[in-house]
Structure 1
Amino acid sequence: MWLSSSGYDRSAQISFLFKFGVLGTASSYFNSKSYKYPLTSCRFDQVLSLVCSSSLRAVTPLHSTEAKKMVPGDKIQDHLTVSEVSKICCSLTGFGILIQFMCLLQVLEEWKRMKEIGLPITVINLVSYIKGMTSVMCLGRLGRLELAGGALAVGFTNVTGYSVLTGLAMGMEPMCSQAFGCRNLPMASRILRRTILMLLLASLPISLLWINIKPIMQVARQDPDVARIADLYCRFALPDLLANSLLQPLRVYFRCKGTPCPLMWCISLSVFLHVPITVLLGSAIGVPGVAIATCLTNFNTLLFLLACFACAPVTEETSVYMPIPTSVPCCSSKPSSTEWASLIRLALPSCLSVCLEWWWYELMTVASGYLSNPHVSLATAAIVIQTTSLMYTVPTTLSTSVSARVGNELGAGRPRGAQTSATVAIGLAFAGSCVSLLWATMGREAWGRVFTDDKEVLRLTKAVLPVIGLCELANCPQTTGCGVLRGSARTSVGAAINLYAFYLVGAPVALVLAFWWNMGFVGLSLGLLAAQAACAVSVLHVIRKTDWEREASKAADLVGREAPKVAMNEEEDKIGLLKREGLQP
């Protein structure tokens, strides 16, 4: 046998066997799980090759160039392969348990990083939900006509304005997060300024739509009084386009930087002031007061952020608009036209993806008005939209967090870290979706009574909420998966999936079940379930097939990181790990 062969150093043989026992066990374990250990930013079989190059010469007469090429499937001697050595060592020492523990530590570390981004974003989403609920409640206190007109205006502004600005702003997420990952701070600042300019330009045609909402509603044969109230609301909400054009890119910027806490405190303070401002202005001047209060809240957030910038010391780390480089940047700068082209190429599909999903819910509400009992269906649709908006805070948090983490890791040239971030986020998404399903199923009656006491509406709401809970089983993973796609600069893939899932799968199913099979609003909800399921399956399939090394190379091209230098750093990281673990002589 090999260990008893003469002419070899026995201590070197034992050391070689021990090294392959640890690393070979790790390789077999992670490869069997289709998962690569992310700490070293390299595959375990590459680490095995490094071990071979340093230790195999002591135990076998193979040439060093041959030793460097060895992997677990190659033979050490005629009767013993590397994989067999790994299995023997694993059975004798139980290193598999150690490797599983190391994997758990990596997952916990990634969860901790994601929590640092996700918790402030969760607070932001919740206070934003409270802000919207406060405005709707104040409109309801003004009267039935004001509530109807205000609700129509809110839906119109969401479809034509806020969804467009939000989607365009999310287009900067891949470039900004990857720029922060490779420490290209000047590029991140340029992307922020250009996104703000792009949103300001997009606000011009949106403002024309808002000004002409009254004739648009007349063409749609809406009630003239309701259209008049909606027109009044939209005209006084025009300054909010300016506020959102500045605020939305800043929200993305702070997320990508991994420091959303200042934004959280500023938005929370603004919403805290929003409640009394809305009540006072709504009582004083009616519907225009509610619209003005919404604008003031967003401008207050900008003022609070400006105060934070003024109080913070201006350094390379804290500057937003004009970073001051303290050293020669290691990242190459891209031409201005190239950056603009890349930003627009990412922003347009991102905008389309967001709009397609937002518009589907509005179309669902419109379709409810054509059912046999439209008053009950529309009331239930309003409850369902409020419910999904609340449940959407969980997948939105995970989506934005994982987008920032994946972008940071790819920008830094750590594809294994990006894969870990995606895996942890999707696992959390499945856990969160199960909680949402239980809440929507077990608390459906109590939740319905929060909005109404009408028996017919309650009965339909109780029938629909379990279906909405099932939708969340698919919605949470697919929304999180879309965040992974954004972080890896594949916004066009997400837009294509949303297009076919919601409009080629969900819409036909919803219309057939609701009108052809006379299932009413339950049929529309089942159409939403079909759309979410198709979207989730497609997104998760794309992520499973992702070549993370290729995505890291694409990130290097996108943000100007030099690939040869990164490759050298990865090799240094591998050798450094072996030295720290005592595996490098």
Structure 2
Amino acid sequence: MSQLASSSYPCNCNPPHSNRLPNKDDPENPNTDTPLITKPTEIEPENAEVSPIVKEAISIAKIAFPMILTGLMLYLGPLVSMIFLGRQGELALAGGSLAIGFANITGYSIPSGLAMGMKSICGQAFGARVTNFLASPCKEHDVLTNFNQVALIVLYILIFRAHEKTWGGFSMECFKEWKSLLNMAIPSCISVCLELWWYEIMILLCGLLINPRATVASMGILIQTTSLIYIFPSSLSFSVSTRVENELGAEQPRWARRAAFVGLSSAILLGCSALVFAITVRHKWATVFTQDEVIVKLTSTVLPIIGLCELGNCPQTTGCSVLRGTARPKVGANINLGCFYLVGTPVAVGLAFFAGFDFQGLWMGLLAAQMSCAVTMMVVLARTDWNFEAERAKTVTGTAAAVAAVDDSKNASAEKPQQAGIPKDP
């Protein structure tokens, strides 16, 4: 009877037999062990991928930080010299400023500018993985520049075996293709010299002001200050140009554009930091070099102007490096020529000698030059066709001919089976 009732009126209290053991965590088959209120399932956080912008910033920083340390160590020499000269008096400090300026004009600016031209070619060649191409401009550049620190550089190369992938041995090829190197090196040299020589011209103009000894001495302190600040945007610019060169050589125009964007954004942040630094230390900075009240006062009044100059100088320096990275140093040279000598110099002379601003007027001229230069650089970079620059990089590094040769060989090998009557593989 009970069997009949149970068969006529099926009940869920007696589920069909299953070989599977009950599981209290199985939501589809609840049982007496299943809790009425379940705990909310914990959502495991997904591993968020690092933003491409952050990756690019890290890549730039890895190159820039060692260069910053190197620049700071090289800066210590002139800094210590200026501090000792300041202890000797106003005249000694002014004479030291002229001596350092003469050294910049006659020596340092020229080889550093020539090295910029080699860097553009080598950076794109490295990005294109044409390692054998790197040795040729290096050999040519050794002939162009001086032999300072040659022994230490050669020793470093031998110890760390940096030459194994690039050095193909000495050959007569180092005397060929000088035109392509000079097309890069000479405009880069002119661009660097035009900017550095402008400061030296300002030192000479200081001798025509009301108090020449104090203004020349203060100019020396301020140039040392700008040299210290310049280490950071300069290192950033070398890093950004390297990234742009590598990506263009690797035929990645979008990544090259990203590197330029990250670099320029970082340069703006550096400019803001330099402005804060200049305003913060304006009353105490000159006392590191001298205790002369006139020089200290002149320096403190100009330091805020220098901070404003860095708002334009940092993006301008980085923008010029992007132009070098795209193998367009002539554009940078023309911009520097126009902004520093057709804008900055007339403004500096007019404000200093005719508008009554005296020493401050010279630095206002620098402010006009830097700002106009930065704006012009931004306009040029905004109109850059990165796909075209990636194609042009093939010509710079010689990879276009190599790719064409490979394509010709592929076409020739593809035609051979058809001529022999053998069908090609699909």
Instruction: Give me the TM-score of the superposition, normalised by structure 2.
Output: 0.78
Q: Which residue of 2 aligns with 1:169?
A: 115
CA distance in 1, matches of 2:161, 2:225: 42
Choose the corresponding residue for 1:406, options 244, 254, 278.
Answer: 244
Q: Which residue of 2 aligns with 1:155?
A: 101
CA distance in 1, matches of 2:89, 2:284: 25
CA distance in 2, matches of 1:139, 1:451: 8
Q: How does 1:67-78 map to 2 (within 5 A)?
A: none
Relative distance call for 1:449 and 1:142 in structure 2 (3 A) is: closer
Q: Which residue of 2 aligns with 1:501?
A: 339
- Per-residue deviation, 1:446: 1.7
Matched, 1:345 2:291: no
Task: For residue 425 of structure 1, give the secondary structure of its aligned residue in structure 2.
Answer: helix
Contact 1:185 1:316 in 2 (8 A): no
Q: Which residue of 2 aligns with 1:184?
A: 130
Contact 2:109 2:193 in 1 (8 A): yes
- Per-residue deviation, 1:373: 1.8
Q: How does 1:349-368 map to 2 (within 5 A)?
A: 349-368=187-206
Q: In structure 2, what residue type is equivalent to 1:242?
A: F
Matched, 1:561 2:396: no
Q: Which residue of 1 aligns with 2:53?
A: 107
CA distance in 2, matches of 1:314, 1:445: 47
Q: Which residue of 2 aligns with 1:546?
A: 384
Q: Which residue of 1 aligns with 2:157?
A: 309
CA distance in 2, matches of 1:484, 1:314: 26
Relative distance call for 1:380 and 1:536 in structure 2 (3 A) is: same
- Per-residue deviation, 1:307: 2.8
Contact 1:474 1:532 in 2 (8 A): yes
Q: Which residue of 1 aligns with 2:329?
A: 491
Could you report, residue by residue, the CA deviation over 1:158-194 in whole angstroms, capped at 9, with x for unpaired residues? 1022111111111111101011111111211111110
Q: Which residue of 1 aligns with 2:5?
A: none
Could you report, residue by residue, the CA deviation over 1:197-218 in whole angstroms, capped at 9, with x for unpaired residues? 122xxxxxxxxxxxxxxxxxxx
Choose the corresponding residue for 2:140, options 180, 194, 205.
Answer: 194
CA distance in 1, matches of 2:101, 2:163: 42
Matched, 1:242 2:147: yes
Choose the corresponding residue for 1:472, options 291, 306, 310.
Answer: 310
Task: For residue 177 of structure 2, give the secondary structure of its aligned residue in structure 1.
Answer: helix
Q: Which residue of 1 aligns with 2:271?
A: 433
CA distance in 2, matches of 1:323, 1:121: 29
Matched, 1:424 2:370: no
- Per-residue deviation, 1:309: 2.5
Structure 1 or 2: larger helix share? Answer: 1
Between Structure 1 and Structure 2, whose CA radius of gyration is higher?
2
CA distance in 2, matches of 1:309, 1:393: 25
Relative distance call for 1:141 and 1:461 in structure 2 (3 A) is: closer
CA distance in 2, matches of 1:377, 1:152: 12
Matched, 1:376 2:376: no
Task: For residue 392 of structure 1, give the secondary structure of its aligned residue in structure 2.
Answer: helix
Q: Which residue of 2 aligns with 1:68?
A: none
> Aligned residues: percent identity?
44
Relative distance call for 1:453 and 1:141 in structure 2 (3 A) is: closer
Relative distance call for 1:510 and 1:145 in structure 2 (3 A) is: closer
Choose the corresponding residue for 1:116, options 38, 54, 62.
Answer: 62
Could you report, residue by residue, the CA deviation over 1:483-503 in whole angstroms, capped at 9, with x for unpaired residues? 000011000000000000000
Choose the corresponding residue for 2:301, options 455, 463, 473.
Answer: 463
Contact 1:553 1:563 in 2 (8 A): no
Q: In structure 1, what residue type is equivalent to 2:337?
A: L
Task: For residue 147 of structure 2, give the secondary structure of its aligned residue in structure 1.
Answer: helix
- Per-residue deviation, 1:148: 5.7
Could you report, residue by residue, the CA deviation over 1:80-117 in whole angstroms, capped at 9, with x for unpaired residues? xxxxxxxxxxxxxxxxxx9xx87x61011111111111
Q: Which residue of 2 aligns with 1:12?
A: none
Task: For residue 444 of structure 1, give the secondary structure of its aligned residue in structure 2.
Answer: coil
Relative distance call for 1:137 and 1:399 in structure 2 (3 A) is: same
Could you report, residue by residue, the CA deviation over 1:545-573 in whole angstroms, capped at 9, with x for unpaired residues? 1000000111001101138959x99xxxx
- Per-residue deviation, 1:313: 4.2
CA distance in 1, matches of 2:361, 2:389: 40
Contact 1:471 1:533 in 2 (8 A): yes
- Per-residue deviation, 1:314: 7.0
Contact 2:94 2:217 in 1 (8 A): no
- Per-residue deviation, 1:304: 3.5
Instruction: Give me the TM-score of the superposition, normalised by structure 1.
Output: 0.58
Matched, 1:395 2:233: yes
CA distance in 2, matches of 1:467, 1:138: 26
Q: Structure 1: any 5+ residue segments left out of the alignment? A: 1-97, 200-240, 244-298, 325-334, 570-585
- Per-residue deviation, 1:312: 2.9
CA distance in 2, matches of 1:468, 1:144: 22
Contact 2:267 2:315 in 1 (8 A): yes
- Report how many residues are paired: 358
Relative distance call for 1:508 and 1:142 in structure 2 (3 A) is: closer
Choose the corresponding residue for 1:531, options 343, 352, 369.
Answer: 369
Q: In structure 1, what residue type is equivalent to 2:168?
A: M
Q: How does 1:53-132 map to 2 (within 5 A)?
A: 105-132=51-78
Contact 2:94 2:214 in 1 (8 A): no
Contact 1:174 1:487 in 2 (8 A): yes
Q: In structure 2, what residue type is equivalent to 1:177?
A: G
Task: For residue 218 of structure 2, give the secondary structure of its aligned residue in structure 1.
Answer: helix
Task: For residue 383 of structure 1, give the secondary structure of its aligned residue in structure 2.
Answer: helix
CA distance in 2, matches of 1:475, 1:382: 19
Task: For residue 171 of structure 1, give the secondary structure of its aligned residue in structure 2.
Answer: helix
Contact 1:316 1:323 in 2 (8 A): no
Q: Which residue of 2 aligns with 1:232?
A: none
Relative distance call for 1:131 and 1:114 in structure 2 (3 A) is: same
Q: In structure 2, what residue type is equivalent to 1:514?
A: A
Q: How does 1:227-266 map to 2 (within 5 A)?
A: 241-243=146-148
CA distance in 1, matches of 2:240, 2:312: 17
Task: For residue 399 of structure 2, give the secondary structure of its aligned residue in structure 1.
Answer: coil
